[in-house]
């Protein structure tokens, strides 16, 4: 992002922050006690160049996600990945809905290399990979039930795109009763200004945008989770 654009955005955000704060917005939801790491659409179609869905700033996002994965796995924090993929991309039985009238969704074919998670941040055995059909990781998937079964109260969100799937996942997370924490260095989009505007707006209304270092400090301070006991709902009521 150019210095000129950055300067212009900062002027806008400064003025808008005053409006929000005077009206009681920009409160902090804070970290809970039981986080999960949710990596949104960090599959090859978005992370590698040359695709219609390719996003910018991957040289920052991928290393940030790798740090978050390392810290989360060290404390047995649940890790979830999503990708967007379609089994039927033509005919009356298509699972694309109407989205392909706006974006080239027909390129996202289930089972293709493009829809596989980038191998630089590959899932480890046992980590969930959810193939979704809509923007939000919660829409039409088992994610809510999965997180609740583990007693999760906080979702640390990374991925792309900031204006689409990351934003809608964040909005649905707070609607479903989870504390959304969006990691500033670990999210992106195809247009730089879109990232900064949506981070500002989300931080005002739907979740907390936190720097990578702050999130890593939070994860480091957690007690290592007892994965076996965490699978039982009663444990979260007494723990």
Cα angle 173, 174, 178 (rounded to 5 degrees) comes to 70
Give Cβ neighbours of residue 151 (< 8 Å, ≥ 6 apart): 34, 230, 233, 235, 236, 239
Q: What is the DSSP letter of 172?
A: H
Handedness of CA 156, 161, 164, 165 (dihedral sign): negative
Choice among 165, 166, 182, 230 that is catalytic? 165
Active site residue 115: no
Sheet holding 128-132: strands in order across? 128-132, 79-84, 35-40, 154-160, 179-188, 208-210
Cβ(89)–Cβ(105) below 8 Å: yes
- CA–CA gap between residue 148 and residue 190 (Å, rounded): 32
- CA–CA gap between residue 145 and residue 130 (Å, rounded): 13
* Residues tagged active-site: 165
């Amino acid at each position: 992002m150019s210095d000129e654009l950055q300067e212009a955005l900062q002027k806008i955000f400064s003025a808008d922050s005053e409006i929000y704060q005077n009206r009681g917005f920009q409160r902090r939801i804070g970290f809970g006690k039981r986080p999960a790491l949710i990596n949104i659409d960090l599959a090859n179609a978005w992370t590698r160049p040359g695709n219609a869905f390719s996003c910018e700033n991957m040289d920052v996002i991928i290393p940030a996600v790798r740090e978050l994965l390392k810290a989360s796995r060290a404390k047995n924090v649940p890790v979830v990945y999503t990708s967007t993929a379609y089994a039927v991309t033509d005919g009356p039985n298509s699972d694309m809905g109407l989205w392909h009238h706006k974006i080239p969704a027909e390129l996202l074919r289930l089972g293709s290399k493009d829809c596989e998670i980038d191998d630089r941040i590959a899932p480890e055995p046992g980590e969930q990979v959810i193939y979704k059909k809509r923007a939000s990781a919660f829409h039409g998937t088992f994610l809510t039930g999965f997180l609740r079964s583990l007693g999760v109260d906080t979702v640390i969100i990374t991925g792309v795109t900031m204006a689409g799937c990351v934003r809608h996942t964040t909005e649905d997370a707070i609607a479903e009763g989870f504390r959304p924490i969006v990691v500033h260095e670990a999210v992106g989009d195809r247009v730089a200004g879109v990232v900064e505007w949506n981070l500002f707006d989300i931080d005002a209304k739907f979740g907390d945008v936190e720097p990578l270092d702050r999130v890593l400090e939070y994860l480091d301070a957690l007690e290592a989770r007892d994965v076996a006991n965490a699978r039982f709902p009663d444990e979260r009521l007494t723990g």
